[in-house]
Amino acid sequence: MATASTCPYCGVGCGVLIQSQQASEARENRAASENREVSETSITVQGDPDHPANFGRLCVKGSALGQSLSQQERLLQPVVDGAPQSWPVATQAVATRLQQTIARHGPQSVAMYLSGQLLTEDYYVANKLMKGFIGSPHVDTNSRLCMASTVAGHKRAFGADVVPGCYDDIEQARLFVLVGANMAWNHPVLFQRIQAVLKQQPKSRLVVIDPRHQASCEEADLHLAIRPGTDVMLFNGLLCYLAEQQQLDMTYLQAHCDGLAATLSSARLDAVKPEWVARVCDLPLADVLRFYQWFANENRSLTLYSQGVNQAVDGTDKVNAILNVHLATGRIGKPGAGPLSLTGQPNAMGGREVGGLANQLASHIDYSVPEQIAAVGAFWQAPALVTQPGYKAVELFQAVQRGDIKAIWIIGTNPVVSMPDADAVRQALLQCPLVIASDIYHSSDTVQLADIQLPAAGWSEKDGTVTNSERRISRQRAVLKAPGQAKADWQILSEVAAAMGFARDFSYQQPADIFAEHAALSAWCNGAEHMNSSPEREENSPEQIESSSERAQCQRRAFDISGLQGLSAEAYQALLPVQWPVNREYPAGCARLFADGRFFTANGRAQLLPVRQVALPSFVQEANHPWLLNSGRIRDQWHSMTRTGQIPQLMQQKAEPFVCLHPDDAALLSIKAADLVQLNNAQGRMLARAELTAAQRRGELFVPMHWTAQYSSHGRCDVLFVARVDPLSGQPALKLSQVAVRPLRSRWQALLLCRQPLTKQQHQQLAGHYFARQPLAHAQCYQLADVPDTELLWADSWLAQLGLKASLYSYQSDSGEVRAAGFDGDALQWLLLWSAQKPKADLAWLDQQFATDVVAEQRPQLLQACAADNRDTDNSAVICSCFQVREARICQAIEAGQQCLDSLGQKLRCGTNCGSCIPELTALLRQHSRLAVAS
């Protein structure tokens, strides 16, 4: 019987069905021969047709979840100061060292950095321990990097951190406005719902606002390739246009909103005329007017936005500029109308519900009302409740660097890769007296720096809840036993709390206990109707606790799941997906908020906020670093690749770090396609392959955010971003930096395939040189290159340093090309292709050679890097990851008459499984159509 659970990737929160299977004898024998453990069970994953977030759809990453459970690189045992230890020893080491730090430097010398990949129950225990019992406010989360500006914007406008709409609005809407969101790649399941509406409703339209012509633009009726950073100008202009055309909903504004006059006056200082907007945003006036007219004329308008809005120095103002136009037109709380923030992580919202951000306490209570802070203290019976906000993420690691933070516990995240000015973060952790890391993998860049490493259970191994972008709480359920000594994060935290003397208050036996307490806290002092709700404690009666909180200001809070506080363990296990609030008013949950025009501000009215376009930096005048740099996700990878990077099919779309630049800019810089390129500024350096595309605006570059030290020597892009933040939200500006660009003239490049990943010692031999690692089905593939400012090594010396002894060897004196291979009996162990340029090879064929014996007479063919009957190796991009269909094959099929998506699917199967590749297929079809017309 399949187990219903939730996907661990993006904030869509797709439901999945997990089917466990006993491991085959052959699989166990193969694992034993490779000297690694194998789980007793494996799983298959499919979309849950009954889950309201996805109705059975899954993207390519979700479809491949069953392949993500390898124990390779798993952290299976606690490690203290480099030595494996038992859990009692490790738990006591954490507790003792934290207590010593607190005794010497005070509780504010201790910090935690959490993750949107944690379950709500894990988050709750971490927040309670730090803010209520240790007494440090310095708890923040990597959600600060993706959602903090939306939180701040929502709180300013609505009085609460709350998303007003739901996914069902997609089917009701007729105008979709995507702002800074490549939904086709990053939220593909929701994008497919938009595509269905566009197909079924001929009058529906899609507008994409993004500097790049990204995959979502393939379905767009209008693409506004906006100048980076000018979103406020565009939406201020829209507000002015709506006022000029008398398209504001004055009845709604007078009844439910404040701030129109000041907001409109401020907007007119920026954008009173569309001509001004077009000039500042670098857009054709006709396109600006078309967008404004469409928005004015369609009440069922849905604005979906993500990191292109949030990750900016004025991200909060961008959010409020969007909210202003929806409030001014009354398009909120209604079917098919409203702003919809697209969350980047599976539980960014759940973490905020329990106070995971440094400027929150718990249950959406912040530090602005002393009486509510006291109410939390009474509920927790907390001996050391904090009353002031702590360091936000960027401030937190700066405090580590200064030495103000002496101990930091990092759980489920990789800040050495994901934080801006990432090299400075790495250096800060290197000099921190105590770094504790709870993680799944020992190989993560951050875990490698930890004094104490704690093995955590991962997805499919632990139970709990997550909350998606539409406020829907769903269960993640365990189906596998955690490997080795790995434990759920809430267990690790509770055991450390007990060792620190807080056993009574952290005596949870199961996640259901934590969830019940979390739900009860959401009711605590949440409006007059909940004044009698109280937790049971042994030493304090409910009457005593109520007495202590009678003075609390019981203003209604948006987050309220009081209807779930009495769940039994059995009911918790069977909990179906539900959207909060869940209470007396909404016992089955609530899809849309604010339909009644009541908000969570002090006067119950929404607030329009005057916002202004920030002055744009004089980028062109920056002589040393004149190029604008943008970063983001790609289709088949997830965050820092610790899970998805191990899956061969997900490494096919993009196998190396890359940089996109316009062909005209490339010509100016003497850069050709597939050249290695160096990007650098005062913060750091990145090496990447050049991709030339007219999708980029001139003078602008794009790089992916995913590559780490495990998969590339110089692929961490966040080393190039200054730690600049939005002053209100503290969210860093990870969408805009300035860099210098130049081609990297390598003296040699190589391709190395080996049966196992290179060891740590072999990696050290690569120091300074470029490498990018791509897992294949049976081998590991390393793209290698010499970096000019390092010592020149030739193939023989390089092989010797790596300890590789050749059984086959070929050298061409005229070109300096070397080809070599090593065997153990008839089993191929490694293959090296070394030349002046990037070697060409049939990787699929070579990979198969590691899965079979290669007898002596077959071995010379290995040095040709392809089968004897296939001299035309297809190295084109993989478009369909599900069925490994490459671009060249698709183009051949189009030229042969497959002129639509359906016929391509019938011929090649591409686009017929998860659908994530459909935008790329559409682009190829359109490109072929244009070429046919031109000819």
Written out in words, the top-level CATH class of the domain with range 622-743 is mainly beta
Give the per-residue pLDDT at 621: 45
Per-residue model confidence as pLDDT tens digits over 172-210: 999 999 999 999 999 999 999 999 999 999 999 999 999
Selecting from 3.40.140.10, 3.30.1490.20, 1.10.357.10, 1.10.10.1100, what CATH number does the domain 878-934 have? 1.10.10.1100
The CATH fold of domain 79-146+348-576: Rossmann fold (3.40.50)
Predicted confidence at residue 27, as pLDDT, reads 52
Topology of domain 148-341 in CATH is: Dimethylsulfoxide Reductase; domain 2 (3.40.228)
Average pLDDT over residues 616-630: 70
Choose among 767, 765, 770, 777: nearest CA to 750. Answer: 770
Please state, in angstroms and rounded to a whole number, the distance separating the CA atoms of residues 432 and 448. 14
Strands 139-141 and 175-179: unpaired
Q: What tokens were used for 830?
A: 């490694």
Residue 28: what pLDDT? 52
Counting residues of the chain whose pLDDT is more than 70, the rounded percentage is 93
Q: Which of 706, 702, 828 is nearest to 772 (CA)?
A: 706
Whether residue 548 has pLDDT greater than 70: no
Does the pLDDT at position 294 exceed 50?
yes
Tokens 């800060």 appear where?
428
CB neighbour list of residue 336: distance below 8 Å, 6 or more residues apart: 169, 171, 172, 173, 174, 300, 301, 302
For residue 70, what pLDDT is reported? 85
Least confident of 432-441, 681-690, 892-901: 892-901
pLDDT at 793: 76
pLDDT, tens digit, 9 for 90 and up, residues 239-258: 999 999 999 999 999 999 99
- Range 223-244 average pLDDT: 97
Four-point Cα dihedral 149, 154, 160, 166, nearest 10? -110
* Assigned token pair, 224: 């506004």
Tokens of 607: 């607030």
**pLDDT of amino acid 933:** 55
Cα 914 from Cα 892, distance rounded (Å): 23
Q: Backbone phi, then psi, for 414, in 5-degree steps?
A: -130, 70
Tell me how far apart the alpha carbons of residues 414 and 442 are, in angstroms, rounded to a whole number. 11
**pLDDT tens-digit series, residues 799-842:** 898 899 999 888 887 778 999 999 999 999 999 999 988 998 99
* Between residues 549 and 695, the one the model is more confident about: 695
How many angstroms separate the CA atoms of 682 and 423, rounded? Answer: 11
List the chain domain ranges.
3-67, 79-146+348-576, 148-341, 622-743, 749-862, 878-934
Per-residue tokens: 674: 């597939």
What's the pLDDT tens digit per position in 376-408? 999 999 999 999 999 999 999 999 999 999 999
Residue 367: exposure state from Cβ atoms within 10 A (0-12, 13-18, ≥19): middle
What confidence score (pLDDT) does residue 544 get? 39
**Which of 508, 339, 443 is closest to 759 using CA atoms?**
443
Q: Once rounded to an integer, what is the mean pLDDT over residues 678-686?
A: 95
Q: Are 652 and 669 in contact (CB under 8 A)?
A: no
The model's confidence at residue 353, banded by pLDDT at 50, 70 and 90, is: very high
Q: Burial of 777 by CB count in 10 Å (0-12 exposed, 13-18 middle, 19+ buried)?
A: exposed
Q: What residues contact 509, with CB distance under 8 A and at least 6 apart?
A: none
What's the mean pLDDT in 71-78? 93
Rounded Cα–Cα distance for residues 201 and 608 (Å):
32
Min mean pLDDT across 193-197, 205-209, 433-437, 853-857 is at 853-857
31-65 burial, b at 16+ Cβ within 10 Å, e below that, comes to beeeeeebbeebbebbbbeebbbbeebbbbbbbbb
* CB 502 within 8 Å of CB 129: yes
**Model confidence over 297-352: pLDDT tens digits?**
999 999 999 999 999 999 999 999 999 999 999 999 999 999 999 998 999 999 99
Instruction: Please give the structure tokens belonging to residue 918.
Output: 């459909």
Q: What is the per-residue pLDDT for 935? A: 56
List the structure tokens of 393: 């993420």
CA–CA distance, 597 with 327 (Å, rounded to integer): 10
Split at pLDDT 50, 70, 90, the class of 908 is very high
What confidence score (pLDDT) does residue 877 get?
A: 83
- Grouping H, G, I as helix, E, B as strand and the rest as coil, residue 641 is coil
Asked if residues 137 and 390 have their Cβ atoms less than 8 Å apart, the reply is yes
pLDDT one-digit tens code per residue, 24-59: 444 555 555 544 444 445 889 999 999 999 999 999
CATH 3.40.640.10 is held by the domain 3-67: no
700 pLDDT tier (thresholds 50, 70, 90): very high
Residue 528: pLDDT band (50, 70, 90) is low
Counting residues of the chain whose pLDDT is more than 90, the rounded percentage is 78
Model confidence over 478-524: pLDDT tens digits?
Answer: 999 999 999 999 999 999 999 999 999 999 999 999 999 999 999 99
More confident residue, 781 or 30: 781
Give me the phi and psi of 812, to 5 degrees please: -110, 110
Record the pTM: 0.93
Higher pLDDT, 254 or 270: 254
DSSP letter string, 598-635: --SSTTS-EE-----PPPPP-GGG-SSS-EEEEEE--T
- So what's the pLDDT on residue 215? 93
